[in-house]
Homo-oligomer: A and B are copies of this chain.
Amino acid sequence: MADIQGSKDRLSENLQQIITLLNKQRLVENLLHRQDMSRSDAAKTNLVESLVHKQNLAKLQQKLDELHPADVAYILEALPLEQRLDVWDLVKVERDGDILLEVSDAVRQTLIADMDSDELLAAAEQLDTDELADLAPDLPKDVLKGLLENLDAQNRARLQSALSYPDDAVGGLMDFDIVTIREDITLEVALRYMRRLGSLPGHTDKLFVVSREDILLGVLPLKRLVVNDLNAEVADVMAADPVLFHPEDLADEAAKAFERYDLVTAPVVDKNNKLVGRITVDAVMDYIRDESESDKLSMAGLREEEDFFSSVWKSVQNRWAWLALNLMTAMIASRVIGLFEGSIEKIVALAALMPIVAGIGGNSGNQTTTMIVRGLALGQIASHNMQSLISKELGVALLNGLIWGGVLGLIAYALYGNYQLGLVMTGAMTLNLLLAAIMGVMIPLVMTKFGRDPAVGSSVLITAVTDSGGFFIFLGLATIFLI
């Protein structure tokens, strides 16, 4: 049985086997090549080498054929470009499409760049319309045009409509593998119809009950189909009140509904309640995973998933915007310090202490912002509880400021023997934490108000404010009370 225990081990075992075969392959090719060069080719040795060569290739190809498309994708992603393309050339053309769907965007681009139009067309023809829609944005224009011409009218219309929705809309997630039945037949007739179909699309857990005009009337879970009396009518057994979606609904809302109501598939209908497609839980799960990955990446300032083996130049492009932004905020903070160079010249201890005030403010502000972003995403933060939230965050900041600011004040006093410096430290810390609390609540709220995603960028903004603010408060207080 396909035992999953240690599935990560199994995956890296596959990878190791492929790498070993690839290395052998390269060795043999080098040998063949060297013989050509030295012209010392005894025909016999040459033949043996070339046989080994072919055996090796066959072994590699066989191993690849045995693997699930997702597992081949995994291997392609883990190989440097040259080896990756060697493996890619060995993959059977009828599996290309499925594998292209599984690899990450960055790796997909390297694979597509290696294929000519005919290969791409052949790969694409193996796919369903909804899968094509996922692949389409990465295809060259002429291939896409060729594809559209090859499709029949219904599928062309479906592809064009799927392409018209953004990735974060239900229309971008849905597929068209729907099995429909009428409401006025008995379960026995329905079962006979199923047997005539011979097979059902993946993830089919329910049939869609529609009128002659394709208007959705309800859904019939397979579970109900198999447990109920064969003489009952579909209309009596179906769920007439299913959770349903519209193509323009946000994918995020659909994902939450899938989790909330534990769905496996759900119908998608247009404005007139006409059935246009379905969403399956695997599409939803991929969406959730992608979102969580891209949140993590963007929090660290990476624009998109990086191919581990992309060129240095590509990586620099992926990362430069974030660094430039941070450089700008750091420059501002630096100019704030510049304002107080006179004070620092007099009490040089200020230079050593000021980064602490700024840093802790940033940490604390990020904690607050993370909470607020989460509450906004869940829709649990709104006007009715705003006030109690802000007072709570201010309370937390005040307490932390007095505790940690107090500790730091004592340390500063111990280090520099200046109790006034200690007091300024405690005061600056408390004020900067209060600033961090207020900005930590306000920044995500204002971003939401202006239609921006608060998960992206809140962290840079809050750090910029608490850095410059922290330097200003600390050096300002010091200038007033110590100089």
Contacts and interface: CB of A to CB of B under 8 A. Distances in A.
> Which of A80, A254, A281 gathers most chain B CB within 10 Å?
A281
B308 A381 contact: yes
Given A1-B241, A338-B352, A379-B12, A300 B203 contact: no
A2 B260 CA distance: 13
- In the A-B complex, the 8 residue pairs with the closest CB atoms: A292-B292, A300-B370, A312-B395, A351-B351, A337-B352, A78-B380, A262-B282, A330-B356
Contact of A316 (B203, B240, B257, B396): B396
Given A74-B380, A331-B356, 15 more contacts: A4-B254, A74-B378, A77-B378, A191-B226, A197-B227, A199-B227, A203-B264, A281-B281, A285-B288, A299-B299, A312-B395, A320-B400, A331-B411, A341-B348, A345-B345
A258 B286 CA distance: 10
Given A331-B356, A353-B334, A389-B308, A319 B261 contact: no
A203 B263 CA distance: 8
A98 to B, nearest CB: 12
Interface of A: 1-8, 11-12, 15, 19, 68, 70-71, 74, 77-78, 80, 191, 194-195, 197-200, 202-205, 216, 222-223, 225-230, 240-246, 249, 253-254, 256-262, 264, 273, 281-282, 284-286, 288-289, 292-293, 295-297, 299-302, 306, 308-309, 312-313, 315-316, 319-320, 322-324, 326-327, 330-331, 333-335, 337-338, 341, 344-345, 348-356, 358-360, 363-364, 366-367, 369-371, 374-375, 378-382, 384-385, 388-389, 392, 395-396, 399-400, 404, 407-408, 411, 415, 467, 471
Given A241-B2, A243-B2, A308-B389, A195 B408 contact: no
B385 A80 contact: yes
Residue from the set A4, A295, A316, A341 with the largest chain B CB neighbour count within 10 Å: A4
A111 to B, nearest CB: 16
Nearest to A288: B288
Interface SS of chain A: helix, strand, loop or mixed? helix
In the complex, the count of this chain's copies comes to 2
Nearest to A69: B260
Contact of A260 (B70, B306, B341): B70
Contact of A360 (B243, B260, B308, B330): B330
